[in-house]
Amino acid sequence: MKAKAFIYIILAGLTWGTTGIFVNFLAPYGFGTPQITFVRGTVAFLCMLVFLLIKQKDLLRTDRKSFFLMACNGLLCCATSIFYFLSLLRTSNATGVVLMYTAPVYVMLFSVFVWKERFSSLKLASIISMLVGCVLVAGVVGGFKVDALGLFFGVLSGITYASYNVLTKHIMRRGANPMGASTYTFLFMGIGAALICRPWQMPALIAKDPLVTILLLVGIGFVGCTLPYLFYTLAMRDLPAGTAASLGIIEPMAATVFAALILGQIPDPFQIVGIVLILASVVLLGVAENKLHHQKETEDARRTVE
């Protein structure tokens, strides 16, 4: 069972890593980032809806407060996608996805300052590693060209993704089912993007090359959103959350390789070091969280004995 779980988490990372490829291929046809987000959310919602209606439609039931929180989560997911796609188009796939993956550090800072969780030396090391990595990925060192707006969008994608993770954690604590919650999240992700994407302009864009554009639009919703979520959910049944989160770094590595092979976007040596440092910060943070969780369990056990 564990072997299958590892395979599922790897497949999730690989399919998530294809998102930037779809974005780069759709952009020349005139599709804006809100339009791509609209299609991605709508396709993912329809796929999840059909799946749940066939398999277990009871998972779609929820209370009003949870439904409201899922709607907010959908809007956060919409914002994350738009900022992420804007960053991809102005920088590179590697830079965009890695900047979004700074999200765990923002979540950690939120936990320390708001939830008063412990701040350890490992967490400090993860912050330093992330900051140095961001400087290198940005091209500040080595005299490379820096797209400030692209980096700004990348940081915003990390912050909104962190907010999405915090709210998701709260929704799960309320007893919501992950698959049902994600279905509604995709729904409101599509609705949020529809409000700003001018969907009535899309038929003219699709008409430029119907077969190719339709395949790309369905692909970014199904391959880049629905499939990775299903793979990740299947993996979570047999893997601890910390292990699954650490293995999540497969996505930025896959995105970097795909971009190099398909788009010819090869990071320079400084950026490669920066990518490694940012991914290392995520791993360090996962180790710190697991260590903190173990300490809490030990303390609880001692209190029970006493």
pTM score: 0.80
Q: How confident is the model at residue 259, as a pLDDT?
A: 80
143 conformational bin, left if phi > 0, alpha if psi -120 to 50, beta if neither: left
Cβ proximity of 258 and 21 under 8 Å: yes
Q: At what angle do helices 2-16 and 250-258 cross, to 10 degrees?
A: 50
Q: How confident is the model at residue 280, as a pLDDT?
A: 79
Per residue of the chain (306 residues), what is the pLDDT tens digit? Answer: 567 777 887 888 889 889 889 999 999 999 999 999 999 999 999 999 998 999 888 889 888 999 999 999 999 999 999 999 998 888 877 778 778 877 777 877 777 777 676 777 777 787 788 777 776 766 656 555 567 888 899 889 989 988 887 888 788 888 888 888 889 999 999 999 999 998 899 999 999 999 999 999 999 999 988 888 778 767 766 665 555 555 666 777 777 778 888 888 777 787 788 778 877 777 777 677 666 656 665 665 565 555
Query: Which H/E stretch holds residue 264?
Result: none
Domain housing 114:
2-305
Long-range CB contact pairs, 58-64, < 8 A, 24+: 59/177, 59/179, 59/180, 59/183, 60/180, 60/183, 61/180, 62/176, 62/180, 62/181, 62/184
| DSSP symbols for 170-212 | HHHHTT--HHHHHHHHHHHHHHHHHTTS-GGGHHHHHTTSHHH
Q: How confident is the model at residue 121, as a pLDDT?
A: 78
How many domains are there within the chain? 1
Cβ proximity of 212 and 95 under 8 Å: no
Structure tokens at 194: 């529809």
Q: How confident is the model at residue 250, as a pLDDT?
A: 73
